[in-house]
Structures are given as C-alpha cells and as structure tokens.
Amino acid sequence: MSESDAERSEGGQSRGEPRPKRPRAGPKRTSVDTRGVSAGTGSVCKLFVRKAPCNFADPWRKHSQQSSTGTGFLLENRWVVTNAHVVHRAVSVLVRPTTGNPVKYNARVVAVGLPCDLAVLQVDEAFWKNKESLNLSRDIPKLDDNVTCIGFPVGGENISVTRGVVSRIDVNIDGLMRIQIDAAINPGNSGGPVLGAHGLVVGMASSILKNASNIGYIIPSQVLEQFISCIETADDGAVRSCYLGTSSLGIGRVQTLESPALRRRLKLPEGCTTGVRLCRVFPLGSSAQVMQEDDVLLEIDGVEISQDATVPLRDNERIHFGHLVTKHIAGREKVKVKLWRDSAPQEVEISLKPDRWLVPRIDGYDAAAEYAIIGGLVFIPLSHPWAELKSPSLGTFAPCHSTRTGGEPHRAEVKGLER
C-alpha cells in the first residue's frame, strides 16, 4: 500500500480533508404547538377601559373614573370576548389589535354575564380588516395537558405568553366548571385566551387564588360557548335576549350520606350507596313546591350522585353534581331528577332558573347602589358589595386585570366569591 493510500482513512477520507458532519440523532420536532400559539397571538387584543365604579358606601356620590387594562380575543360573528369584570361599569372601551397598525378602536359592550364573568364587545368595522378569529375547543382538557396563556399582564406593554399544565378540574361556588392551571397568570391577563396544544381555545384566563403560588383559574370554552349561545341580536345590533344567569336547582347546600346511621334515618334501602340529603329548598328557587327538605337526591338526568356529592366526569375523574345543572341554560332547559321521599323513589322534571338571593350578591346583576331619604334618615339596602366594604376580609379571589388610578402602580382588585 502506498503512503498516499495509507493516508486515506476508512470511507476514502484523506487526512487533510475535513470530515463531513454527521446529523445528530434526537427527538423528532413537531411544530403543531408553535403554529397554534403563533397564530393565536394575532387574534388577541389589548383593552383600555375607563370605568366609574359604584359607591356603595355613599351612593349619593360618584367615584372618580379609573383606568384599567385587560385582554380580549376575537371570535366568529366579529365579536371580541373578555371577562365581565374587565368592562363592568365601563364608561369607554378602546381595543388595540396585535397585528397591523397599533391604532385604538372604539368598542361597545353588547352583553355582560356577571355570574359567569364573561362579556362580548363589538368593534368598529375598520378593526376587522385582515383579522382572523380563534376557534373554541369542544373537549374539556385533560389533567396534565399543556396549555398556553396569552395576554397583556403587568411588567411590559407587549404581548406575553406563558405555559403550564392543567392541574385540576372543579366547580366554583355556583357550580360552574372551572379549570385550574399552573401557568403564570397576572393582573392584565384577564380575558386572554388559553390555548391547547392543538391551537384551539380551551378556556379564558379569569382569576387567581390570593396567598397561593401558581394557582390560576380559567373559564372553560364550554361555559363561553353557552354564554354566547344565549345572545340574540337584531339586524341593527340591538340585543333581543342575553344570558340570564347560572342555572340552579335552588336547593342551597346538601349533606353527604357517608354515615350509615343517617342513611338508616332516611330509610334508604339496603345496598343503596348513592344520594345526598337536601338541607334546604329556597322558596323562590327552581325546586320550590317540587322538592322538600330531607329529600334524598339520587340522580340528575340519569346520572347517579354518589354519597360525597360527586358524579363521573371522565375515567378516574369526578366532579361536583352541580355541573350537571349549570351546563344547562337557565330559562330554557329542564332536568329530570330522581328523589327518595317517604321510603319510595320519585321522578320529577324541573325548569331551571337562576337563584334569587335575599341579600343581593353581585354589583350590577342583582345589587345596586341605591338610597332613600325618609324623615331625615338615609336608608341603604343591604347587599354583599356593601358588606365587603365593611369587612374586606371577605375577598379571597383576585381578577387578573390591571388597574391604574392616576399615577398609582398596577394592582389586582379583589373579587369576593363568598356567599
């Protein structure tokens, strides 16, 4: 073998010639999530709101106007959706798109659903040029699914993207489904879309749990779709009908039947492992004159209610039975209920409607800042917003919209969800 032949190594490579680089083996890259998120950012907009909150402490006076910011995203029918608390008591709403010229457009509030914390806006026609809408997912995300939260939180003016996973699926105090995620949600994120790995909207950023780390809640797309289906508009844009409120049986709290002694007291049959006891039936609720105290609620629409007041959601997942009620539209739909009363089962049909409270709970929904002067005395109606002023510790959840008053820094307002 000659020296020149010896200098050539295996594969015909000479010592003086550079070796070609071999491609490194690694996991296959997929761009599904990247495309979905990048497409979603173009359908997100920033909201600039000026609002005049009600003065429940002194209803004869008006609060000064406040400036706040939030997030919204585009849906079909040329609607912008956001949280109700972002535009509640709004004097003016301006919308700035993410794509195109950063021009602010006037927006009009079409419908507000304070119980579910959702709102729909209409924007000037020029805003919609070359804009694409997002699509809602019809499936509830699974535990540990990756989600991406898009919005305009504090800390900067540009759009922000944070990622996390679905941590829990539960219901709120009214029985509406909510999804807990660990993605960072901060003031200003309210109303922003939360996308799944497929690029579809699985929810809307809504609130955070105060004094806790990485616990944020989003409104599922199923609740948003239900809210939008209630809105009917005329050709001139006037609203004919809208969201009435959260469906309820009007039964207050229930008692679990995990105690064998209590089950014997209610004369439930041997081997029956389902049902919850009704402790109270509201006289103005949906179940008035239909259900009674000490009735045992066994089934709703054929779904058995377990002793701990939960029903199956998916494999190895359960949820409070209130979800079976709130997924229906108040004022339009009914549920079939199976009861145990007087040692015998009974089946009844109940038309659903929202609860009516002796002490109004929500500003602008059933509570208003009113007063009357009689004989030199000023009378103010008792309401939950007024009670919160006297006892600030009632608030436990913070909506994620940033608020600025004058030159003050951003801060998160407190939203009380206690009854």
Q: What are phi and psi of 274, to 5 degrees?
A: -120, 170
Alpha helices in 200-310 (DSSP H): 221-229, 260-265
- Using CA atoms in the order 30, 141, 97, 95, what is the torsion angle rounded to 10 degrees? -170
H/E stretch holding 326: helix 323-326
* Phi-psi domain of 270 (left: phi exceeds 0; alpha: psi -120 through 50; beta: other): beta
Helix, strand, coil tally for the chain in percent (to 5): 15, 35, 50
Alpha helices in 257-412 (DSSP H): 260-265, 323-326, 384-390
Q: Is 174 a catalytic residue?
A: no
Q: How many secondary structure helices (H) and strands (E) does the chain include?
A: 7, 27
Given the residues 43, 85, 221, 286, select the one marked as catalytic. Answer: 85
Q: Is 117 a catalytic residue?
A: yes
> Which DSSP letter does residue 306 get?
B
Instruction: Report the candidate in 300, 293, 294, 309 with the shortest Cα–Cα distance to residue 262.
Output: 294
Q: Please give the full DSSP string across 383-419, using - where no structure is assigned.
A: -HHHHHHH-GGG--EEE--EEE-TTPPPEEPPB----
How far is the C-alpha of 416 from the C-alpha of 359, rounded, in Å?
14
How far is the C-alpha of 256 from the C-alpha of 32, rounded, in Å?
45
Q: Is 182 a catalytic residue?
A: no
Structure-token pair, residue 220: 């599922």
> Which DSSP letter does residue 78 get?
G
Can you list the positions of beta strands (E) in 228-267?
232-233, 239-241, 254-256
- List C-alpha distances in Å: 318 to 177, 186, 312, 413: 12, 29, 4, 32
Given the residues 43, 68, 88, 117, select the one marked as catalytic. Answer: 117
Active site residues: 85, 117, 190
